[in-house]
Amino acid sequence: MSLIVQKYGGTSVGTVERIEAVAEKVVGFRAAGHQVVVVVSAMSGETNRLIDLARAIHDAPDSREMDVLISTGEQVTIALLAIALQKWGCEARSYTGSQVRILTDSAHSKARIEEIDTDRMRADLDAGRVVVVAGFQGVDASGNITTLGRGGSDTTAVALAAALKADECQIYTDVDGVYTTDPRVEPRARRLDRITFEEMLEMASQGSKVLQIRSVEFAGKYKVPLRVLHSFQEGPGTLITLEDDDNMEKPVVSGIAFNRDEAKVTIQGIPDHPGVAYQILGPISEANIEVDVIVQNFAEDGSASLSFTVHRNDLKKAGEVLATVAAQLGAKSTTTDDRIAKLAIVGVGMRSHAGVAAKMFKALADENINIQMISTSEIKVTVVIEEKYLELAVRSLHAAFELEEMDRVE
Amino acid sequence: MSLIVQKYGGTSVGTVERIEAVAEKVVGFRAAGHQVVVVVSAMSGETNRLIDLARAIHDAPDSREMDVLISTGEQVTIALLAIALQKWGCEARSYTGSQVRILTDSAHSKARIEEIDTDRMRADLDAGRVVVVAGFQGVDASGNITTLGRGGSDTTAVALAAALKADECQIYTDVDGVYTTDPRVEPRARRLDRITFEEMLEMASQGSKVLQIRSVEFAGKYKVPLRVLHSFQEGPGTLITLEDDDNMEKPVVSGIAFNRDEAKVTIQGIPDHPGVAYQILGPISEANIEVDVIVQNFAEDGSASLSFTVHRNDLKKAGEVLATVAAQLGAKSTTTDDRIAKLAIVGVGMRSHAGVAAKMFKALADENINIQMISTSEIKVTVVIEEKYLELAVRSLHAAFELEEMDRVE
């Protein structure tokens, strides 16, 4: 018998029928002898409906009251799921974040979990009950309702699994696992049986949005085995775990992540002396623009050029800030480009393998794809290329690193 | 400066626009220097929507989970009203029943309030904030969410007013006060400026459903001045208070209540000996049928006949039970009649005035209306008549007791 924490998102509980299907699934786990804690989100659409009601009254509603409002979404789901479980003859009891209690700080709409009381859940589990917990919400020390921010139900599930020392935390989604890359771009993309927390973080931050980054960080920190599964299809999903050092056949590259959300900004002909990068990026940061890849180069005349990427939504604002800075620095020119894509190969295996970056660059060169920017970390090599080459680049790298062929050892 | 507890029902907060109108009203009371605690119901239709979701899953959903589910209705309203108040620049803070906390017993769906903690509300009021409280809900000693049953928001308001020793508890509804009788039957019906708790209880139990009976009992018990007002029309409403002994001009009859929900059952030719009434009404009670007016008479042959009224929905069942009983007792016959109406004159003044009943019977006799049953209490005379005479009876009694002319002293 093992203790499993399961999380079902808004789409998985989007209708009464789906809630009943989730109940049936949970009953199956109980029948197999497992203890189960289920974390659920609001029924899909419900959170937006509630936000719209508040926005109809006030442009910038108070965050304490917004938390009171939208926390009702999950509260509805826990009650309905408990009722559905009882219909299956399965004893169940629901808890809001406050009832559990999931103690958080007082940062409404983006609260952080500080402590979880497991006594009531333990008592219910020992009595043979399924425990149903509202995701995404908690309570502060003064008894105010808080929310963890959107998508926070994953974090609730991982935090409960950590507090209960669960054997596994299962996140049910609309995909059947984590893939080597996006199957819509590379049909030969393969579901990974396993991936490490670090790899998952790099994949997620690159746009493979299967799991909330924060929940993966949390799972890694507390060593909670995390599994991504499809809500309504059978299958083993993908297990996200600590690195398995015994695995000799660990591949060099686990997957390819990419996104098209970014744009590139370049400032050329700037003086090459200390502090210039700060003079440029300081005002960008002050304008609340987040910067991702940053590259600095030198021209033949001794002047420097600096390029960085920002979210496309911030491009206009970044261009304006940069124009002011360029005038102050006497820079030669500034250019912006929103037709770029970012692409990365990710894998813990590359730590011990030289030549991974070289192999990547060769594969892209073979397709005549020009690399505009390069950035590397221990388990990732990121490049920025012209957007129109993205699909070609993904497929050629997928082939070059033999991702579709690979049989990973479980 | 006085402390006022106000309650707005589902229709009064049925849309975002109405919630904003309620906020404007509350802001007016704050501007006039009052401290205000507002109790709200779920937006109209919301509770039924939630019940329907649960019923789609389970015919007889667990009452603990139903309370978790439907308590979200009021929680949505408190947040929206707090946000609307803040839009008006009025500091406000919302509380669920659990947050207040309103401690109840554990009788889910029909919990009774045991204790109310006023510390948080007091602190907010002292800080100049409006306190917005979810009606209809509480929390038991184990932290389970409870509800007081439908319409329980009136009770919440009165209980808060009692706990806070408020100067007045105002119940906002879709009528502008308590009337001498139903204006749809007697257009000359007049709004009462005042009525006593006892009269209000008799009026309410007779079908003048302006207020929940339980909240009136509660207000009487704790001597909370209760005022019924219209949510969206100006006016003084009706104040429900303790009897005003100084009022020399107190009228004999305050109002006329009636209903058509009942049916009459008669059993004739039963033996006249002790225990017969119990032999008849015992099985009725065991069948969970509530009995209202009961009259026993004797025929010339020394046998007795017993008549009583039940809710029309229970008539068929009552008839079946009675047939069995009649056979056991060797009764002559049983009859049922669902074309009756019940009518009552109510007034604390009749305690000290003889002849009130006689005046009532004469007024009915003048219209050739036959009285089938009579029942009296200290402040009420009830008669059962043929349903088709109901409107005529109401109008003739309204005139006979000069209810339309009366100017009550405030």
**CA A285 → CA A322, A335, A363, B319, distances in Å?**
11, 19, 35, 82
What integer pLDDT is reported at residue B300 of this predicted model? 73
- Nearest chain B Cα to A140, which residue? B99
A168 lies in the same domain as A271: no
B320 lies in the same domain as B351: no
Residue keyed to tokens 């949390």 = A218
- Nearest chain B Cα to A66, which residue? B79
- How does pLDDT run across B278-293, given as a tens digit for each residue? 888 889 988 888 888 8
Q: Domain of A311: which CATH number?
A: 3.30.2130.10
- Nearest chain B Cα to A47, which residue? B76
Lookup: tokens for A264: 């590139």
Lookup: tokens for B81: 């009203």
Q: How many other CB atoms are found less than 10 A from the CB of residue A374?
A: 14
B301 lies in the same domain as B359: no
**Distance (Å, rounded) from C-alpha A237 to C-alpha A18?**
20
Closest CA to A214 of A235, A197, A234: A197
Statement: residue B150 has pLDDT above 80: no
Statement: residue A150 has pLDDT above 70: no
**Distance (Å, rounded) from C-alpha A196 to C-alpha A346?**
11
Q: Is residue B210 part of a domain?
A: no
Chain A residues whose CB is inside 8 A of the B82 CB are: 62, 65, 68
Q: Is residue A188 part of a domain?
A: no
**Distance (Å, rounded) from C-alpha B384 to C-alpha B369?**
10
pLDDT-derived band at A166 (thresholds 50, 70, 90) equals: very high
Phi, psi of B77 (to 5 degrees): -65, -45
Residue A93 contacts B where some CB pair is shorter than 8 Å: yes
pLDDT-derived band at A409 (thresholds 50, 70, 90) equals: very low
Q: Is residue A213 part of a domain?
A: no
Contact A69 B53 (CB under 8 A): no
Q: pTM of this prediction?
A: 0.81
**Distance (Å, rounded) from C-alpha A87 to C-alpha A138?**
28
Chain B residues whose CB is inside 8 A of the A88 CB are: none
B326 lies in the same domain as B391: no
Residue A139 contacts B where some CB pair is shorter than 8 Å: no
- Nearest CA distance, B87 vs chain A (angstrom): 6
B308 lies in the same domain as B345: no
Higher pLDDT among residues B353 and B168, named by residue: B168
**Distance (Å, rounded) from C-alpha A248 to C-alpha A86?**
47
Residue B31 contacts A where some CB pair is shorter than 8 Å: no
Chain A residues whose CB is inside 8 A of the B76 CB are: 50, 53, 69, 72
Contact B79 A86 (CB under 8 A): no
Most confidently predicted of A94-98, A173-177, A343-347, B217-221 = A94-98
Q: Is residue B194 part of a domain?
A: no
B157 lies in the same domain as B268: no
Write down the mean pLDDT value for chain A: 90
Largest alpha-carbon pair distance within chain B? Answer: 79
What integer pLDDT is reported at residue A198 of this predicted model? 87
Domain carrying residue A101: 3-173
Q: Which of A50, A96, A98 sits opposite B76 (nearest CB)?
A: A50
**Distance (Å, rounded) from C-alpha B282 to C-alpha B289?**
10
B137 lies in the same domain as B269: no
- Nearest chain B Cα to A62, which residue? B83
Quote the number of domains for chain A.
2
A393 lies in the same domain as A249: yes
Pair A77, A19: CB distance under 8 Å: yes
Residue A16 contacts B where some CB pair is shorter than 8 Å: yes
Closest CA to B216 of B231, B193, B199, B233: B199
What integer pLDDT is reported at residue A316 of this predicted model? 92
- How does pLDDT run across A225-275, given as a tens digit for each residue? 999 999 989 999 999 988 765 555 567 898 999 988 899 999 988 887 777
Helical segments of B275-389, H only: 276-286, 315-329, 356-366
- In the stretch 94-123 of chain A, residues with CB closer than 8 A to chain B read 94, 96, 98-99
- How does pLDDT run across B303-341, given as a tens digit for each residue? 888 899 999 999 999 999 999 999 988 888 899 999 999
Residue where one domain finishes, among candidates A173, A189, A218: A173
Q: Domain of A88: which CATH number?
A: 3.40.1160.10
A142 lies in the same domain as A274: no
B372 lies in the same domain as B275: no
- How does pLDDT run across B199-217, given as a tens digit for each residue? 888 887 655 567 777 888 8
Q: Is residue A15 part of a domain?
A: yes
What is the enclosing helix (H) or strand (E) of B263? strand B262-270
**Distance (Å, rounded) from C-alpha A384 to C-alpha A375?**
9
Residue where one domain finishes, among candidates A173, A191, A209: A173
Contact B76 A72 (CB under 8 A): yes
- Nearest CA distance, A178 vs chain B (angstrom): 33
Q: Is residue A235 part of a domain?
A: no
What integer pLDDT is reported at residue A207 of this predicted model? 54
**Distance (Å, rounded) from C-alpha B375 to C-alpha B295?**
8
- Nearest CA distance, A58 vs chain B (angstrom): 6
Residue where one domain finishes, among candidates A140, A157, A173: A173
B320 lies in the same domain as B358: no
B86 lies in the same domain as B157: yes
Helical segments of A330-389, H only: 356-366
Q: What is the DSSP string of A3-45?
A: EEEEEE-TTTTSSHHHHHHHHHHHHHHHHTT-EEEEEE-PPTT
Q: What is the DSSP string of B74-110?
A: HHHHHHHHHHHHHHTT--EEEE-HHHHTEEE-S-TTS
